């Protein structure tokens, strides 16, 4: 399913939030607030305004957004978009040993940062994702908070690009 940018601009706030509330994982408040910044002339402009909503939000809201993301390679219920993204990166095809390694890395990361490891996995594979996990767990908390948000912004842009037609 997709939505035309012109029609998106014509939606009321409830319909707009319903249409785009999934773009930022389990955080429809981003779409709800972005609606106030209409009209959008491009997917990039919409994305920038959604990013600004997050950037202007409280630390509590940012942490809620980060914590709404599933662990990579976790075998848990997650948003349809996350299922597809992780599947496309091969994270649904891990051996038992690989799965255990991902779980261990996720746990180490979560313990250090208090939010799950987040990465835009489009165009990635299990090896590149695992290497990134091993590197990023070395980051300072403030640096990793910024990096995790940047990854969320990439994920959101990919989702918007796939969903909205101009």
Q: Are 11 and 39 in contact (CB under 8 A)?
A: no
- Which among 10, 44, 82 has a CA at the least distance from the CA of 160? 44
Angle between helices 141-163 and 43-55 (to 10 degrees): 150
Does the annotation count 99 as an active-site position? no
Q: Catalytic pick from 26, 41, 47, 69?
A: 69
Q: Are 65 and 30 in contact (CB under 8 A)?
A: yes
Catalytic residues: 69
């Amino acid at each position: 399913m997709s939505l035309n940018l012109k029609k998106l601009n014509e939606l009321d706030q409830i319909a707009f939030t319903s249409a785009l509330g999934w773009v930022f994982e389990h955080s429809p408040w981003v779409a709800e607030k972005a609606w106030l910044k209409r009209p959008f002339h491009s997917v990039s402009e919409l994305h920038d305004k959604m990013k600004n909503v997050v950037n202007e939000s409280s630390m509590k809201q940012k942490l809620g957004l980060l914590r709404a993301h599933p662990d990579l390679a976790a075998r848990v219920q997650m948003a349809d978009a996350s299922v597809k993204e992780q599947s496309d990166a091969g994270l649904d095809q891990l051996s038992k040993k690989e799965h255990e390694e991902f779980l261990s890395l996720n746990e180490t990361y979560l313990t250090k940062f208090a939010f799950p490891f987040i990465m835009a996995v489009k165009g990635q594979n299990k090896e590149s994702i695992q290497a990134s996990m091993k590197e990023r767990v070395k980051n300072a908390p403030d640096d990793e908070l910024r990096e995790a948000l940047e990854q969320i912004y990439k994920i959101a842009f990919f989702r918007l690009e796939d969903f909205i037609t101009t």
